[in-house]
């Protein structure tokens, strides 16, 4: 295992290039199962989650070539198997999005339930409800979701749950509906940019989908799809994390390759904190003199403030004078990073799904433990702002979603190194 050691206190300066989106690439790679023809996906980040998805596809007897340095994944799903086992699925919850494409292609599939998750309860009732609405018989037995049908038949499907529209649930129903007989209306569809990217890829494969980017997707089923090439969108959460890193260190960073329009809520909050954010010709420049103002943040489905930026924002607020309140409306228990930030001297109390953050003058470096991907990003940011040395252990969590984060931060002037634990 590896850990990251950070000597904090250096303002970040310079430019950083954003990688392709993990959360767009994962369902798009799953969607290649919808055709026997070759598909080429570009702009794929070199991350362990992408590796897991490729491994599962190979286990399903699918031909996958992953050119890691070029960021290209080539897939040919000639005759995929229909069973995704626990040993592979448990490594990555996103493998649940194999359910829709496998069901559409094979009419009979079993995907293991992924099991516990540190960011809170992650049921898949909405996924199951949606596939049932398309005529599938879906049961959970022996730890597997078993879905089967004679044919999928278009219907109206509502994808909004207690915490808003489900992202991967929408992806699953969409991928099933493209090969269904007749028309499907997905109401309350998640409209995250990653879903829009999936829709764009499916359209390139020959799917007929209207309402792109909106809450109502109309899918006219077709009998088959063909191979396609696609470049995934840039990772808005990686970009947002570097924006917050610039802000927390009182730095000046130009972010290249991101789509500023996907980051409006993050930009808005940073500006409210007193950070200057400028959009110029496809770049985002973030400048801060380190003098931050407290804010209240509520996470919401897109276009609201993303839950995947909550830990990074919490880190910022720990060193912002005054009281900030951060409320989680998507994953109400996603606060594992808070007790680790307390080890650095942060003053935060949890009240239900809210963190009440009393900003302190300085954090002081200490060893901390990463518990999940975004929590570890939040801890890295806190370490960048802390006096002295912060050791972030279990850094494999951060490698699931950030390509070479230590290298990218070092290029911006951070004192950060990766060592064996
Ligand atoms: N939910 C249900 N029932 C369902 C599905 C979801 O109650 O059937 C609830 C969840 O428990 C949660 C809320 O609905 O409270 C939203 O969950 P959603 O299904 O939208 O999450 P997801 O699709 O499993 C994706 C991202 C997450 C991101 C969330 C929210 C991928 C691979 N994962 O998960 O990303 O936090 O959407 O935006 O796209 C990450 O990258 O670190 C990450 C966790």
Ligand 1 atom with the shortest distance to the CA of 330: 15
What per-residue confidence (pLDDT) applies to 122? 83
Which pLDDT does position 404 carry in this prediction? 93
Same domain, 358 and 389: yes
Task: Return the structure tokens found at 196.
Answer: 């829009």
Q: Are 170 and 271 part of one and the same domain?
A: no
Under a CB-based contact definition with an 8 Å cutoff, are residues 189 and 170 in contact? yes
The domain boundary, picked from 168, 199, 231, lies at 231
CA of 309 to the centre of ligand 1 (A): 13
Q: How many domains does the chain have?
A: 2
Q: If 0-12 CB within 10 Å is exposed, 13-18 middle and 19+ buried, where does residue 31 land?
A: buried
Q: What are the tokens at 178?
A: 């493209």
Q: Are residues 291 and 385 in the same domain?
A: yes
End position of a domain, from candidates 215, 231, 247: 231
How far is the centre of ligand 1, averaged over its atoms, from the C-alpha of 168 (Å)? Answer: 7
**Which residue's CA is the closest to the ligand 1 atom numbered 18?**
166
Ligand 1 binding pocket includes 124 (Cβ within 6 Å): yes
CATH code where residue 297 lies: 3.65.10.10
The closest-lying atom of ligand 1 relative to the alpha carbon of residue 171 is 23
Same domain assignment for residues 224 and 248: no
Q: Is the pTM of this model over 0.95?
A: yes
Which residue in 416, 383, 390 sits closest to 315, CA to CA? 383
Which pair of tokens denotes residue 199? Answer: 């829709």
Token pair belonging to 168: 């991967």
Same-domain pairing of 173 and 290 = no
Query: Is residue 375 lining ligand 1, measured as CB closer than 6 Å?
Result: no
Same domain, 86 and 147: yes
How many C-beta neighbours within 10 Å does residue 343 have? 17
Pair of tokens at residue 366: 């200490």
Active site amino acids: 117
The answer on 329 and 239 residing in a single domain is yes
Residue 116 has a pLDDT of: 64
Q: Is the CB of 163 under 6 A from ligand 1?
A: yes
Query: How large is the greatest C-alpha to C-alpha distance in the chain, in angstroms?
Result: 64
Same domain? For 136 and 212 the reply is yes
User: Where does a domain end: 231, 255, 275?
Assistant: 231
Eight-class DSSP state of 372: S
Give yes or no for residue 393 CB within 6 A of ligand 1: no
* Under-70 pLDDT residues of the chain: 115-117
Is the minimum distance from the CB of 23 to ligand 1 under 6 angstroms? yes
Residues 278 and 378 in one domain: yes
Ligand 1 within 6 A of 305 CB? no
Which residues, 6+ apart, have CB-to-CB distance to 246 below 8 Å? Answer: 12, 252, 253, 275, 286, 287, 288
Q: What is the pLDDT of residue 1?
A: 85
Contacts of 234 (CB under 8 A, 6+ apart): 18, 19, 20, 21, 43, 257, 258, 259, 262
For the chain, give the number of residues: 421
Looking at the fold, whether 8 and 38 belong to one and the same domain comes out as: no
Q: Which of 28, 116, 130, 167 to mutate to test the pocket of ligand 1 (most atoms within 8 A of CB)?
A: 167
Atom of ligand 1 nearest to the CA of 127: 8
User: Are both 253 and 151 inside the same structural domain?
Assistant: no
Task: Identify whether the C-beta of residue 206 lies closer than 8 Å to the C-beta of residue 226.
Answer: yes
Structural Rg of the chain based on CA atoms: 21
Distance between CA 107 and CA 105 in Å, rounded? 6
Question: Are residue 377 and residue 348 in the same domain, yes or no?
Answer: yes
The range of the structural domain enclosing residue 78 comes to 22-231
């Amino acid at each position: 295992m590896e850990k990251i050691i950070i000597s904090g206190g250096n303002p970040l300066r310079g430019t950083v290039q954003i990688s392709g989106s993990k959360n767009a690439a994962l369902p798009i790679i799953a969607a290649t199962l919808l055709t026997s023809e070759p598909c080429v996906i570009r702009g794929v980040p070199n991350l362990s989650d992408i590796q897991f998805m490729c491994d599962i596809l190979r286990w399903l007897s699918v031909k996958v070539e992953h050119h890691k340095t070029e960021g290209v994944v080539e897939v040919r799903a000639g005759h995929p198997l229909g069973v995704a086992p626990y040993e592979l699925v448990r490594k990555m919850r996103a493998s649940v999005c194999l359910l829709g494409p496998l069901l559409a292609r094979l009419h009979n599939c079993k995907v293991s339930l992924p099991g516990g998750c540190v960011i809170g309860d992650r049921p898949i009732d909405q996924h199951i409800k949606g596939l049932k609405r398309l005529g599938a018989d879906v049961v959970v037995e022996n730890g597997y979701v078993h879905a089967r049908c004679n044919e999928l038949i278009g219907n109206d499907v509502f994808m909004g749950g207690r915490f808003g529209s489900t992202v991967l649930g929408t992806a699953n129903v969409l991928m099933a509906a493209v090969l269904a007989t007749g028309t499907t209306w997905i109401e309350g569809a998640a409209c995250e940019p990653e879903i829009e990217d999936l829709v764009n890829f499916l359209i390139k494969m020959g799917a007929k989908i209207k309402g792109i980017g909106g809450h109502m997707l109309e899918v006219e089923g077709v009998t088959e799809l063909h191979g396609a090439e696609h470049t995934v969108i840039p990772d808005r959460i990686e970009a947002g994390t570097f924006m917050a890193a610039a802000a927390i260190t009182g730095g000046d960073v130009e972010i290249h390759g991101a789509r500023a329009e996907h980051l409006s809520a993050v930009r808005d909050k940073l500006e409210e904190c007193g950070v200057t954010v400028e959009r110029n010709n496809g770049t985002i420049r973030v400048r801060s003199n380190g003098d931050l103002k407290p804010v209240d943040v509520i996470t919401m489905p897109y276009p609201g403030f993303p839950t995947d930026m909550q830990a990074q924002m919490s880190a910022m607020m720990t060193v912002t004078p005054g009281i900030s309140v951060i409320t989680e409306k998507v994953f109400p228990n996603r606060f594992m990073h808070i007790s680790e930030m307390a080890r650095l001297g942060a003053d935060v109390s949890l009240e239900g799904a809210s963190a009440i953050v009393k900003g302190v003058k300085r954090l002081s470096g200490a060893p901390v433990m990463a518990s999940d991907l975004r929590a570890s990003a939040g801890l890295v940011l806190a370490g960048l702002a802390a006096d002295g040395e912060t050791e972030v252990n279990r850094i494999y969590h951060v490698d699931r979603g950030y390509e070479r984060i230590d290298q990218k931060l070092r290029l911006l002037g951070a004192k950060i190194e990766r060592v064996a634990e």
